[in-house]
Structure 1
């Protein structure tokens, strides 16, 4: 089947329209499993045009409006805080001045304190509202909670127009409960249940009202539960709230407790590392196959293949269990047949999966969508890295048929024209036009700015294929198939030579962005070239030139490496992929630079991203930010609809630790190696606790000693060797 070309109409039907800046709203996010919530600083949700606020479950918005008022007025915000582990959101509010009809103040501001404590667990949003009177007189207070559920599909919320919708059902109410429901065109009924304890003074299908008489110093506690598609295990109230809170915190501690712990001499970096870990483990969803990091909130809180694989690579050194879960889940969802609408081909690895009404009806192609060219070789790469990190040959044996199918896909379907390079091109007009990680419609172009025709062989995908061949060879050797291993090594070396001869451009000083459908090189400098360093595809004598180009002032903004440098025709620092800075992209490039010994360049990237995080609320790196040059005493410029938190961005600072320290693991010899470690300027001392290899672990301290960086073992469990190469 023919792929789409530049002659076809260029549309971006699935892009996120920038009609409302997430930065302006400063949203608070909560997540557990397939449920996430986005609230404003007061803890409310307003579902205006372009707003992602509300409570979402399996790609449907189950609560589109939530607004708390006191005596018919919106409370004043005192503070809004997420716990360090992301377990709960706490909003402290107070009353404004209340005046009577004659303009006389009848209650001064800051007399009534409202504390909203909220979390998400097992498909339910729990809230405890504490109301306390600090006035010297008794006060009659009206607390009103307005609510609504539009049951909008996530793609509707993102701006996709629908010709028809399903049927909203009449709400049902009792003294303490409201049920709202909707039957979609897919025949599925979706239900939202709002429960209140104690029962409100008045409860309608759209609001709960409490009339509270509070003596001086008296407080009252109200509980609200919003259930998506499930009945509560126990009646709503104090026990329900605290039992669920206990379970939620225990689950977070249990999952994050697997990981190595990072502690440094820089308190701000400690906050960055803590937030990175908290975001990562909040985004992880327990699937039947194991832990799986969902991509990001609000638009990508689901299983993405590429994002999860890269997140697992970034965190493999500190928690290999994430990689095991990702491999198992993607193996279970690997394509086994052809489906042009979903760009599926046998052996191909998932791009994304969706559960909403529009996906079920195929109004969007993402129910199970396979339109990413890189997920499949990345899957093989991750499998090889996981085996090398853990020695877990049992898991590799279990998913080996899936690895074989992925390798076969690269040969049979990835290389469409038999030229030795893997290309992509969508099978229908509904698919994604560009299917590398830079998947916006204008991300692949020629030096004059004209868009490339497909099928397109993008630079970094060739690097991933090289990495897949190398990984296959390592795994085959461990499986006792030496002859096949040699064959894959031979293929990887052949690809390395071919890639260099076709993709390297002496004048540009780097690898070209891509080859178009006519095999014309897209002579554009880009961050994509840095991924050739990641897997070792780049010839050694090319690396210094490529590194210099990546770290030049045109490419390196001061905060990080831009996707496209200022020298290129389509450079726009405010674009999604043509001049912005992506933390995960920088982390992968840093791994590549470190692979070839350019650790000081990796440390420079680390310093840039760390400096950016110091200007960001909660020290939380977003999906991307704008590529404007770094200015003294000013922070980075934010991208309006960047997801935050985003899994591979959260993992970027953790990956950069490994790049700078040169961390390598050998499970057969129970050895951890620090290969020519460096520390970025903002860290004098770094401790890593519970750093595991095999059945052993160590607690190490890395610190400066004159011009050198020294590694000391503080504690050792098991027969673990720590080697430092200086």
Structure 2
């Protein structure tokens, strides 16, 4: 996904100028709603002006400022709580002086504690502001909370200019201490922000600045609370829960979400924290759809459903949270393209690239309401279906999904191979669509060794691997459904693709799979991380996989923090670019998983250790979407990429795929067994405990321990008809 989308000559490209890193922001998110705040808990339009509270693709609240006696308080600290549920800010007062005629006592600096606690739940943002007088005297002062709403579409915030906008209606107040701000967009949809103050203000300024007169005796405290409700469409029927009740409901929601995952504990407290943080981050991105839970791609810019991101996240977490994969499959199946639509880059059977809300998509100013410009989502959808069946043996569900799987396979054969050369390639049809349609979809991500950009139709190396994997997994599903003839046909197609691929994509001189074939069938002789995905799919010949492993781990690709997207030796290499030299955690995890399939376990351990080390240097131990590809420097962490999403689903899911790769764990529900094939634990882990892992209709718990030259297994519990064992 590009890091910022702007329109140039009717095409959407990335912009590298949308940095908000210097604003020192804090992010809260819960499915369709997220907030970008400064460290004080305020919203101020500084720098690139991206702060705000967003809901369903629109920035509702664009200004939020708390003041004490018309002064900004002094910041003590601010942090997102461990479970992502709360932004907690500690502040205190500056010196407050009064003129003698006001007959008030001056307030010394640092005697009034101000605690701000914010959270987001069900399309609402709640805040409680606690004031405590730690001074020896009674103090009187004012506090104020100012609100402003601009209702900008998220693409406007990110740089798209519009000739016309909708209309913000006159602000109204109600007897229930509500401020109602409405906006009617050019799409004729009314969007409403309802600000409810739980206590009536003493004064108002400019209709949206609520002022409270505070009087506190020594050690007396007072709380001011409010909530903001975001509504798209009809605003007549709504309820505003009290702050404490809503907070209790949020904690209950978190508890229920935890049951999706097995419990994992390790001998390394920091590694366990990385696992827990990643789990909580992923839970904050899970949206409840009518088809179940779906992992939104990332906050702030991709807080919506993306096909590729959802599938890869589900694959990363399949072993630990299989129900998420089921819901992901169901959502994508129900949003599968039915007809050809050039504006959406849609064709029958194709799986979604992304879906968005907001005024610009409703007005068809951009094509992303339901957009299908992704070359790999469709084969990966089939891969996920096959992997889910092996993990769960849920044949009933596969029968329900089979028509969608067939349509996806038909799309691969009919539409995927544009020029009939046996490979799946892309060429966008939408005038406003993405030029590049693999996971590296920025406009300059696919090039030749000369630096010249490749022209479509473009056949990416990793996509051929995904298609190969999809055909084999579809064959297994066809066997399970007693479609033997189709299974035989699919296996034959997969084998033919593997032979053709290893002939045409392999460059023996360099020992690399080329990045792509362009529209003239000219090889893009570029060393890229894409080639590592070829191992993940299993399409690589064994001896070629060995050479790829060695080359991927050389210094020009391995930065010390992970594998770069592009070799430092390439013309377009830039460690600060989005796709041409940066490091992406999900990319590294997929490559590590590929290494494990070919038993390259020492390299798996090295990649796992690199990302673990990186996590320790990063705030909250939360791996972002990507970071810069500079060489690792002693005593320093990785260099941040300023507009990386964080949390981002497939980035936080990487740790689970890495753990699975280290253990070489295979859960086969069809044969009712869990097998560890030559598992290896990193040096920093002596043991791993996995509890309440869903297997069939029961659960299993076990421990793995590292010995000098071995890894041992202790099974604590399992269903009677399941086997758990190690192959050494």
- Return the TM-score normalized by structure 2: 0.96
What does residue 537 of structure 1 align with? 539
Equivalent position SS for 1:149: strand
What does residue 19 of structure 1 align with? 17
Contact 1:696 1:719 in 2 (8 A): no
Question: Which deviates more, 668-677 or 400-409?
Answer: 668-677
Contact 2:13 2:434 in 1 (8 A): no
What does residue 522 of structure 1 align with? 524
Q: 1:611/1:235 Cα in 2 relative to 1: closer, same or farther (>3 Å)? A: closer
Following the alignment from structure 1 to structure 2, what is the Cα–Cα distance between the partners of residues 253 and 12?
A: 46
Choose from 683, 686, 705 the match for 2:685: 683
The answer to whether the aligner puts 1:30 opposite 2:28 as a matched pair is: yes
Question: Which deviates more, 680-689 or 585-594?
Answer: 680-689
Equivalent position SS for 1:400: helix
Q: 1:234/1:423 Cα in 2 relative to 1: closer, same or farther (>3 Å)? A: closer
What does residue 399 of structure 1 align with? 401
The answer to whether the aligner puts 1:179 opposite 2:177 as a matched pair is: no
1:328-351 deviations in Å (ceiling 9; x for gaps): 001111110111111011111000
Gaps of 5+ in 1: 1-8
Equivalent position SS for 2:150: coil
Q: CA shift at 1:156, angstroms? A: 0.4
What does residue 47 of structure 1 align with? 45
What does residue 158 of structure 1 align with? 158
* Residues 548-563 of structure 1 mapped to structure 2, 5 A cutoff: 548-563=550-565
- Return the TM-score normalized by structure 1: 0.96
Q: CA shift at 1:16, angstroms? A: 5.2
Following the alignment from structure 1 to structure 2, what is the Cα–Cα distance between the partners of residues 30 and 12?
A: 33
Equivalent position SS for 1:93: strand
Following the alignment from structure 2 to structure 1, what is the Cα–Cα distance between the partners of residues 468 and 9?
A: 32
1:376-396 deviations in Å (ceiling 9; x for gaps): 000010000000100011111
* Residues 202-601 of structure 1 mapped to structure 2, 5 A cutoff: 202-203=203-204, 204-229=206-231, 234=239, 240-601=242-603
Contact 1:22 1:642 in 2 (8 A): no
What does residue 3 of structure 1 align with? none
Equivalent position SS for 1:484: helix
Equivalent position SS for 1:658: helix
1:396-434 deviations in Å (ceiling 9; x for gaps): 111111111110001111101110000101103311010
What does residue 199 of structure 2 align with? 198
Following the alignment from structure 1 to structure 2, what is the Cα–Cα distance between the partners of residues 105 and 77?
A: 23
Following the alignment from structure 1 to structure 2, what is the Cα–Cα distance between the partners of residues 475 and 242?
A: 49
Equivalent position SS for 1:249: helix
What does residue 124 of structure 1 align with? 124
Q: CA shift at 1:106, angstroms? A: 3.1
* Residues 652-667 of structure 1 mapped to structure 2, 5 A cutoff: 652-667=654-669
1:578-637 deviations in Å (ceiling 9; x for gaps): 000000001111111000101211111110011011111100000000000001111100
Equivalent position SS for 1:268: helix
Question: Which deviates more, 623-632 or 28-37?
Answer: 28-37
Gaps of 5+ in 2: 1-6
Report the number of matched residues.
Answer: 714
Equivalent position SS for 1:116: strand
Equivalent position SS for 2:89: strand
Q: 1:14/1:643 Cα in 2 relative to 1: closer, same or farther (>3 Å)? A: farther
Q: 1:101/1:516 Cα in 2 relative to 1: closer, same or farther (>3 Å)? A: farther
What does residue 68 of structure 1 align with? 66
Q: 1:226/1:682 Cα in 2 relative to 1: closer, same or farther (>3 Å)? A: same
Following the alignment from structure 1 to structure 2, what is the Cα–Cα distance between the partners of residues 13 and 458?
A: 21
1:506-559 deviations in Å (ceiling 9; x for gaps): 122110000000000000010000111111100111111000111111100000
Contact 1:696 1:720 in 2 (8 A): no
Equivalent position SS for 1:470: helix
Q: CA shift at 1:707, angstroms? A: 1.6
1:632-684 deviations in Å (ceiling 9; x for gaps): 11110000100000000000011100000011012133211111111112212
Q: CA shift at 1:251, angstroms? A: 1.5
Q: 1:14/1:68 Cα in 2 relative to 1: closer, same or farther (>3 Å)? A: farther
What does residue 88 of structure 1 align with? 86
What does residue 648 of structure 1 align with? 650
Contact 2:18 2:158 in 1 (8 A): no
Following the alignment from structure 1 to structure 2, what is the Cα–Cα distance between the partners of residues 373 and 512?
A: 18
